[in-house]
Structure 1
Amino acid sequence: MTSEQIKEHLKQVKYPGFSRDIVSFGLVRSAALVDGTAKVSLAITTSDPKVPLHLKKEVDHCLRALPGVKDTIIDVAVTATRAPATPANQPGATAAGARTIRHAVAIGSGKGGVGKSTFAVNLACALAQLLAAQGRPGRVGLMDCDIYGPSVPLMMGLDGRPEIEGEGADAMLVPMERHGVKVMSMGFLVDDDTPVVWRGPMIMKTVQQFVQNVKWGELDVLLVDLPPGTGDAQLSLVQTLPLDGAIIVTTPQPAATNVARKGGLMFQKVNVPLLGVAENMSYFLDPAGGQHEVFGSGGGIITAEKLGTTLLGRVPLITAIREGGDAGRPVVVQAPDSAAGQTFRTIADALLHRLAQPVPPRM
């Protein structure tokens, strides 16, 4: 019996307080069957002495059900941690992950296919660069709420599973980090070949957990990459996390701008300020520097005017943006001085200035 076969069987063992198994959480470091003895090594982070004992018992029970297993040796390496206590009457006590977030901004589009996630990834990296230059590194987060099609892990060059700190109701997921951005995505929690077939309540619960049960730490800006549409994920986010504003991403043609405008109206209806419109794939930039408006022109500024907000910028349609996303090195990181890199940094700078301005109180 191979190590992978043993790990597959261990997927029956759930981490206490979670529906996720210990294998998908990345807690199983090694597994082997030697002369009838199953040897498994676990590495967990917890301050509760009951958790390693519970897991050891469950793993032993699971392994002994395998054919050919006569005995078990289970090693559990524990890194102790202590979750900070939160008084029950403290503001935000039910949203531990959100208390240290200074500004939360949603990235929406209304429809798919406009490059919203690509925009969100590059904007996050541009914000991280600007804040690092100000002496504030590691202060940007990116929450991928595109439950059905999470592409942020690929574009950020991240894989694997997030670590867990604490246990039971106090357990917190630790976001992964790359390019100076802290990232949490549904893509970290499901296998690549596993489609997410969920109804609304499950989507809402996941969005709530991404806000309340993720150890974001001190953030200046948390960007939230929303799925297309104006449904469960969007409404759940608004109800769970106080948003400082939203950015609408569109391409120039009416087929995109008409839907993007509806997405913007949705945010206005739930009293979320619009921080601006970004026009993606605005023009094709050929090697000679010529601009070709493949998808028409003017859609971004028209959408911004109809929504009563501003056009933050026009992102060109160039191969380097796509290549950077596929390689896990966004164009802002790989080619910061390129036309696209400079555009994203300009938009990031404009966003920081908009967030620094006082906004009217919400009704």
Structure 2
Amino acid sequence: MRTQVGIIGAGPAGLMLSHLLHQEGIESVVLETRSRAYVESRVRAGVLEHDTAELLRDTGVGERMTREGLVHTGVELRFEGITRRIDLSGLTNGRRITVYGQQEVVKDLIAARLAAGGQILFDVSEVTLEGIDTDAPVIRFAHEGTIRELSCLVIAGCDGFHGVSRGSVPKGALRIFDHTYPFSWLGILARATPSAHELIYAHHERGFALHSMRSTEVTRLYLQVPPHTELSDWPAARIWDELHTRLATEDGFTLTEGPILEQGVTPMRGFVTEPMRHGRLFLAGDAAHIVPPTGAKGLNLAVADVRFLAEALGTWLRQGRETGLDEYSARCLRRVWRVQHFSSWMTGLLHQPVDADEFSHRLQVAQLEYVTTSTAAATTLAENYVGLPLDWSRRR
């Protein structure tokens, strides 16, 4: 097999990159170790930044999102039994977020690529990368019982944190920055009508809680829990009791319960790889960076990566200019570290510290009071939450 761009991973990053390259007339092949059914049902992120939603619309894969997605113009911060709303759109000249599950984005992108004759090979195995330091890299893999080779001009490693791409870079060529947060999130997906029209971020002395949603019939909820928490210690009744406690307000708040469809515990970490390129291998999305989920940035950061990469590849393959490829890593990393800072700041603002005492509690409340009453502070939160414009990464 031969193509221009070999893409490893059929998540949002890999599929969006293939879609964008197709619109530029550039050939690609996507390789995925999981089945199509698995990647289309894998529940992950659900909040799309303004520019992410606009990109889906502008490139012809946003019809279902526009029809079914939930557009939000604000978020609620809850603390000390009170709720304060951050007017996202009012503070950012009309920018907003859209609640639309990652698995739905993946479904739409797969459908678009296949309809356009794109090649996506699912259930591949034994993936190895060769020649990434040369101008003729090769991806070897097994598919349907046959060992195959994909020759390409460049390889895009979009295969997530545990994928083979980053591990294929020679030892010592990458610098790794890794931070583990001292708590995890216990998340549930419940068949229940959302209890509020917008997301609720709650700070509570027992720990953080988040009320989100995936549709008008499905609610996504999270609780801050200690690391290494076992799901067996959290039966449904305990989960709902804790959510009621942490989301309660002085004037009364009714949390709608329902059957739990999924539940899991997610460790929280910050992770960055520098650079995001080695030779003809370009890393994107979770293969290059992980952010704590508090700021709802993971999927959006991956999409920003591949927008930059698609633009750079288009300029190189059409015009022979490599400037964009040479600038890819630095341009992405400038945005990555801004997002890491915002996600870390949101995490510290809302979560109960491991060594919490009354002093640290009062500091958090004071900060929440300021963020929710100062236009300047609220604007900082709003600008980062709806997503900084793509050209921000070029500014100096």
TM-score bracket, shorter-length normalisation: under 0.3
RCO higher in structure (CA 8 A, sep ≥6): 2
- Whichever structure has more strand as a proportion of its residues is 2
